[in-house]
Structures are given as C-alpha cells and as structure tokens.
C-alpha cells in the first residue's frame, strides 16, 4: 500500500495525517520519543488493544457493537492462566481453552442478537456484566499467578528480536485485512452493515454471518486476554476494565462508520497507534495524571473533527 493511496484513496487519510502530526509534535518536545526502543515499546503496549479493535471492527462494520470485549478478555485471561500454571500446566491446553471460552461467549452474543432482535448494545452490555462475574467466579476473585515460563514467553519473549505481542499484532492485522478485503465473508459483513434488508434479499445468509462476526469478536478478545495475562504473568479477573471503549474509540478514530457498511483494518490500526502514541507521549512528557485524561479526550475529539473536515475537503 503506497502513501498516496492511504492519504487520498482511503477513508483513513485524515487519521494518518493526525498520527504523523502527533508524532512530529511529541518528538519536537522530547528526544526520547523517536527512538527505536520507544517505538517498539509503543507497539508492544498497543498490541492487546489492537487485537480487540480488529475483532470489533468486523462487528462495527456489520452495523453492530460489542461492549463485552473487556469482560471476555478477563474470562479468557483467567482461564488461560488456570491452565498454564507452572505446576503441571500446558500452554497449548491454555491457549485452546481460552480461545474456546472466548468463542463460546462470542457465539452466545451472536445467538442472542440474532434470535432476540434486541439491539446488540443491550445484549453485549448484559454479557459484559455476566462475563465479569464469571471471571471473578472462576478465579475466586483472586489473580491467578505462578504461570509457567513458556506461557509468560508469549507476553514477554521475542522471536529474532521482535517481541511476541508485536508478532501477534502484525499477524492479526494481516489476517483481518485479508479477510475483510479479499474474502466472501468480508464482503458479506460489509454488505450487511451497508443495508441489512437488501443484503438479505440478495440472498446473503445474514444470520449466519452476524453470528460469525460476534464469535470472531469473542475469539479476538480471548487472544487479547491470553497476551495480557502472559504479559503481566497473572490472570486478573478485573483485567480489561474499560478496554472495550479504547478498542471502539480506535475503530471510530480509524474512520469506520458507527452505522456500519464502511471501514478498514488499516484505519483501525492507525486509530490504535494514535491512542498508543498519545498515551506514551503523555507519560514521556510527564503530564500530570489529572491533566492526562483531559488532554487525551481533547486530542481524540480534535482528531475526529479534523478527519471529518479532511473527508469533506476531499470531495
């Protein structure tokens, strides 16, 4: 993908510019920002949010929403930790169980959304609470620690110098981008978000596709949960509080329409990086804790406004 195409051809041009501007601004304020180790740190930090955001991008493009990401992440993180204990745990079993649990919760979301016709906002809000409770029940409310070295390697290890979470980040991006743009499934998801009735009349198996979309979101949340647990070496039942909002914010900042039917994984990746860069920059500049939240919110609003102005100018 060349630069011109991102800037002019795609929906993500505005956010790409905003990201560049942000990087220029921060690096002019501190020399610590534009170093290769710091850039690696940023990528490492955003990996979990990115994976959640990729999953929920499918949901949002299909015209839905998933608020249960953070809670599903916690359940999967705890389950993974329980199966990855240093005494007698098995990493593969842990991965399998956690992803399975994520898929199951996502599938339940999809099932309820399709059958009940209740807005996904409400359904996943319910799941958010249920899953949070489930995480506490499974872990008896305590962090699950003493995890095996091979499990922790997933969060802190590296492969040929590249930290494992970054490999996951790049891998999931490539897969999701491919699925969204090059497959029948991706086309169907976008069509449903664009006009659900017309998609149904055109013979698209709308219910099946929607079910898959929510299931995928659950699986990605679980993957995020596994990485987070591995990164902090514990399965925390209260992990991921509010993560759904970060992920959704990244998707929206990346130019995906909240009404569905339009969006890209590249946009989401840029949105995730944008949030990550601001977080990192605010810490590097040692902005006071109280002000961080104000600045963060202000910048996000500014970015979205700039983007909409940019999109209008393009026409």
Return residues touching another protein (CB under 8 A): 30, 32-33, 35, 37-38, 41, 44-45, 136, 141-143, 145-146, 156, 182-185, 187-188, 190-191, 194-195, 197-205, 228, 231-234, 236-239, 241, 261-262, 279-280, 283-284, 286, 289-290, 292
CA distance 256 to 95: 30
Closer Cβ to another protein, 68 or 280, answer by number: 280
As measured in angstroms, the least distance from the Cβ of 8 to another protein is 14
CA distance 240 to 71: 7
DSSP letter, residue 234: S
Closer Cβ to another protein, 107 or 158, answer by number: 158
Closer Cβ to another protein, 59 or 135, answer by number: 135
As measured in angstroms, the least distance from the Cβ of 103 to another protein is 18
Nearest Cα neighbor of 56 from 301, 245, 279, 294 is 245
Q: Which burial class, exposed, middle or buried, applies to 295 when counting CB atoms under 10 A from its CB (0-12, 13-18, 19+)?
A: middle
CA distance 307 to 173: 22
As measured in angstroms, the least distance from the Cβ of 278 to another protein is 11
Closer Cβ to another protein, 111 or 185, answer by number: 185
Closer Cβ to another protein, 191 or 252, answer by number: 191
Strands 158-159 and 162-163, sheet pairing: antiparallel
CA distance 159 to 168: 11
Closer Cβ to another protein, 32 or 85, answer by number: 32
As measured in angstroms, the least distance from the Cβ of 72 to another protein is 16
Residues 6+ apart with CB under 8 A from 305: none
Residue 176, number of CB atoms within 10 A of its CB: 25
As measured in angstroms, the least distance from the Cβ of 290 to another protein is 6
Give me the sign of the Cα torsion angle 308, 310, 314, 315: positive
As measured in angstroms, the least distance from the Cβ of 117 to another protein is 9
Find out whether 61 and 187 touch, Cβ atoms under 8 Å: no
Closer Cβ to another protein, 28 or 182, answer by number: 182
As measured in angstroms, the least distance from the Cβ of 47 to another protein is 11
């Amino acid at each position: 993908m060349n630069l011109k195409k991102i800037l002019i051809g795609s929906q993500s041009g505005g956010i790409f510019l905003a990201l560049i501007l942000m990087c220029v601004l921060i690096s002019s304020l501190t020399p610590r920002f534009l170093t290769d180790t710091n850039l690696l740190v940023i990528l490492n930090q955003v990996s979990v949010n990115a994976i959640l955001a990729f999953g929920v991008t499918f949901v949002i493009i299909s015209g839905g929403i998933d608020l249960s990401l953070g809670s599903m992440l916690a359940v999967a993180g705890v389950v993974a930790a329980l199966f990855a204990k240093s005494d007698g745990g098995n990493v593969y079993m842990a991965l399998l169980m956690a992803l399975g649990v994520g898929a199951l919760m996502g599938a339940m979301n999809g099932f309820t959304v399709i059958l009940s016709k209740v807005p996904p906002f409400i359904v996943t809000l319910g799941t958010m609470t249920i899953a949070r409770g489930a995480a506490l029940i499974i872990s008896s409310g305590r962090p699950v620690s003493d995890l095996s070295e091979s499990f922790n390697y997933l969060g802190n290890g590296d492969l040929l110098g590249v930290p494992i979470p970054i490999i996951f980040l790049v891998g999931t991006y490539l897969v999701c981008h491919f699925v969204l743009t090059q497959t029948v499934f991706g086309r169907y998801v976008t069509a449903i978000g664009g006009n659900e009735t017309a998609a149904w009349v055109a013979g698209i198996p709308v219910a099946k596709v929607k079910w898959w979309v929510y299931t995928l979101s659950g699986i990605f949340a679980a993957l995020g949960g596994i990485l987070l647990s591995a990164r902090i070496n514990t399965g925390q039942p209260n992990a991921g509080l509010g993560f759904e909002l970060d992920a959704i914010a990244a998707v929206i900042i990346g130019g995906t329409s909240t009404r569905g039917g339009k969006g890209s994984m590249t946009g989401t990746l840029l949105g995730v990086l944008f949030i990550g860069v601001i977080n990192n920059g605010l810490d590097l500049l040692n902005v006071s804790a109280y002000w961080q939240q104000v600045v963060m919110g202000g910048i996000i609003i500014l970015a979205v406004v700039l983007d909409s102005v940019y999109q209008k100018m393009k026409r």
